[in-house]
Chain A
Amino acid sequence: MALDKTEVEKIAHLARLHISESETEEVTTRITDILDLIDQMQSVNTEGVEPLAHPLDAVQRLRIDEIT
């Protein structure tokens, strides 16, 4: 998926990063290359597959709910 300059500037702002005018083109190319790599995921149908957030499907350990 190709990004344009405006989108890259928007992402940089969301990440609170400053990208100078001279860097924008290279950054855009690099990020587009990486998004192409990432898009290989889209070739697989994952409908109905439960997302995995923790390898052992463990949940947070909570302390006892008492006033401390």
Chain B
Amino acid sequence: MINSTVAEISAALAAGDISSVEITQAYLDRIATLNGELNAFITVCEDSALKQAKAADEARANGNESPLLGIPLAHKDIFCTKDILTTCGSRMLHNFVSPYNATVVERFNDAGTVLLGKTNMDEFAMGSSNETSFFGDVKNPWNTEYVPGGSSGGSAAAVAADMCAMATGTDTGGSIRQPAAFCGITGMKPSYGRVSRWGMIAFASSLDQAGPLAKSAEDAALMLNVMSGLDKKDSTSIDRPAEDFTASLNQPLKGVRIGVPKQHFATGLSIEVEQAVRDALAEYEKLGAVIKEVDLTNSHLSVSAYYVVAPAEASANLSRFDGVRYGYRCEDPVDLEDMYKRTRSEGFGEEVKRRIMIGTYALSAGFYDAYYRKAQQIRRLIKDDFDRAFTDVDVIIGPTSPHTAFKLGSKSDPVSMYLEDIYTIAVNLAGLPAASIPVGMANGLPMGMQIIGKYFDEAKILNVAHQFQQHTDWHKQKATAIVAASGES
């Protein structure tokens, strides 16, 4: 049952075929078997998980029929969890136990889910390979010599390896979609403002958004139903009426207009990924969709604009880690400045320090217009491109990543790592929703397809994703190497 979707487990729980305690124990056993090799979890909450599972079974006996009641999940270690270690993948927070729950965590608790543990991630969500974590690399369950993607690499690997039924992640420049693509699962970044950022450790506040990592589009819809909604504690949370994202999953695709940006099929895209996405587009045509070319003229500027906006906001957000209030503090400081400097230099890893420096430089006196303001103007151009394209199409489809997962340790210079997110970053700059779904396999590794939607049109993205999954089985492929290695069925 651990390899089932949330929808299937939910049905089995409702029918009484299995209890939450049983399925929770099965996931805990799976984690115990695989985590040594994959390193997907930083913290496993065995005792509290079994307590939550028992409570869920009792609630069900008392008539609670919440769809996610008793479903075991994992939270990315960026979400504050009351009385549970919350590290953000950093030495800076290696000892931080949060006194409160993030809104996302609170919402899942209210829905009766079971928290199995906290997943590994790039330090402060800065990375595309999960190699910047203080807690070590996460391995790709399809081939442990390869990265799982990042920054939500632990969540993606945990879902792909059936160590949980579903997981949360966050996406600032592709951090849900790219690991979902590399691990062969479904991931979604909702519209900016759809999901509360309260209690989610801030990286770049104008870009960060939490979302689901799941085994199907239907599961992602079930998760989004729980996660989304107005939160007065997040001033950028959007006040929109509650939606049931599962309601339109089965709408036929006849007449749906799919935009294909030529800029996402240009130099740098691997032949295998291009072919897989083109095959998927042919499948959509068979389902009655209409394919149109769209022009995202300024998309080549997204990476450069992002590396001003994100580091600038990060440098401000991460100034709170100073050794005074919580987290790591250096030994024997000689004075205040020495404490600040050594705490931050010893507590942060290389990539985080690099981005703080870039951001500090971009915001320093005399450079604001040339960098931050310029980047915000580029953001406007990128958003305008999308607005124009969406007057003519319902969704935009292209590759999530230019290629399949790369080998651990193979990208040592930061700029080549930054270019990994070339297709995903523009979506964050514009604040649009987008998903990545499995679209094929090459050399034993999965490939992902990105589906971008209009503002607050997550339902259409999920409908388009679900219909593809009704007619193909890429999302059902399992990471067989790791299953064989662990000796489990």
Chain A residues near B (Cβ < 8 Å): 3, 8, 11-12, 14-19, 27, 30-31, 33-42, 44, 46, 49-56, 58, 60-61
A-contact 0/1 string along B223-240, CB 8 Å cutoff: 000000000100110100
A-contact 0/1 string along B129-157, CB 8 Å cutoff: 00000000000000000000000000000
8 smallest CB-CB distances across A and B, nearest first, come from A55-B431, A51-B376, A46-B377, A18-B341, A52-B380, A49-B377, A52-B379, A15-B360
C-alpha gap A54/B303 in the complex (Å): 18
Q: Are B192 and A55 in contact (CB under 8 A)?
A: yes
List 13 A-B residue pairs with CB atoms under 8 Å apart, sorted by A's residue number. Answer: A3-B361, A12-B357, A15-B344, A15-B360, A17-B348, A27-B354, A30-B354, A30-B413, A30-B414, A33-B415, A38-B371, A44-B378, A56-B455
Q: Are A19 and B307 in contact (CB under 8 A)?
A: no
Q: What is the distance, in angstroms, from B165's C-beta to the closest C-beta of chain A?
A: 31
Known: A31-B358, A56-B431. 4 other contacts (CB 8 A): A15-B344, A16-B322, A17-B353, A41-B374
Tell me which residues across on chain A come within 8 A of B377, comparing CB atoms: 46, 49-52
Q: What is the distance, in angstroms, from A37's C-beta to the closest C-beta of chain B?
A: 5
| Residue of chain B at shortest CB distance from A7 | B361
Interface centre among B192, B357, B378 (most CB of A within 10 A): B357
C-alpha gap A18/B379 in the complex (Å): 33
Chain B residues near A (Cβ < 8 Å): 191-193, 206, 232, 235-236, 238, 298, 300-301, 303-305, 307-308, 315, 319, 322, 337, 340-342, 344-345, 348, 353-354, 356-358, 360-362, 364, 370-371, 373-381, 383, 413-415, 418, 430-432, 455
Interface centre among A11, A15, A35 (most CB of B within 10 A): A15
Tell me which residues across on chain A come within 8 A of B413, comparing CB atoms: 30, 33
Q: Are B356 and A15 in contact (CB under 8 A)?
A: yes
CB contacts between A and B, total, < 8 Å: 127
C-alpha gap A56/B386 in the complex (Å): 13
C-alpha gap A39/B376 in the complex (Å): 14
Partner of A41 from the list B308, B361, B418 (CB cut-off 8 Å) is B308
Q: A14-B360, A37-B307 are in contact. Are A56 and B193 (CB under 8 A)?
A: yes
| Residue of chain A at shortest CB distance from B330 | A18
Tell me which residues across on chain B come within 8 A of A42, comparing CB atoms: 370, 374
Q: Are B415 and A31 in contact (CB under 8 A)?
A: no
Q: What is the distance, in angstroms, from A66's C-beta to the closest C-beta of chain B?
A: 16
Q: Are B235 and A61 in contact (CB under 8 A)?
A: yes
Tell me which residues across on chain B come within 8 A of A19, comparing CB atoms: 345
| Residue of chain A at shortest CB distance from B361 | A11
Tell me which residues across on chain B come within 8 A of A58, comparing CB atoms: 193, 236, 238
Q: Are A17 and B380 in contact (CB under 8 A)?
A: no
Q: Are B383 and A52 in contact (CB under 8 A)?
A: yes
C-alpha gap A29/B315 in the complex (Å): 20
Q: Are A33 and B414 in contact (CB under 8 A)?
A: yes
Tell me which residues across on chain B come within 8 A of A18, comparing CB atoms: 341-342, 344-345
C-alpha gap A34/B418 in the complex (Å): 9
C-alpha gap A30/B416 in the complex (Å): 11
Partner of A55 from the list B307, B360, B381, B383 (CB cut-off 8 Å) is B383
Q: What is the distance, in angstroms, from B92's C-beta to the closest C-beta of chain A?
A: 12
Partner of B376 from the list A14, A36, A52, A56 (CB cut-off 8 Å) is A52
| Residue of chain B at shortest CB distance from A3 | B361
Q: A17-B341, A46-B381 are in contact. Are A41 and B376 (CB under 8 A)?
A: no
Tell me which residues across on chain A come within 8 A of B304, comparing CB atoms: 37-41
C-alpha gap A17/B192 in the complex (Å): 32
Q: Are A34 and B235 in contact (CB under 8 A)?
A: no
C-alpha gap A40/B306 in the complex (Å): 12
Tell me which residues across on chain B come within 8 A of A50, comparing CB atoms: 377, 380
C-alpha gap A12/B383 in the complex (Å): 33
C-alpha gap A51/B381 in the complex (Å): 9
Partner of B356 from the list A17, A34, A49 (CB cut-off 8 Å) is A17
Q: What is the distance, in angstroms, from B239's C-beta to the closest C-beta of chain A?
A: 8
Tell me which residues across on chain B come within 8 A of A61, comparing CB atoms: 232, 235
| Residue of chain A at shortest CB distance from B338 | A18
Q: Are B373 and A51 in contact (CB under 8 A)?
A: yes
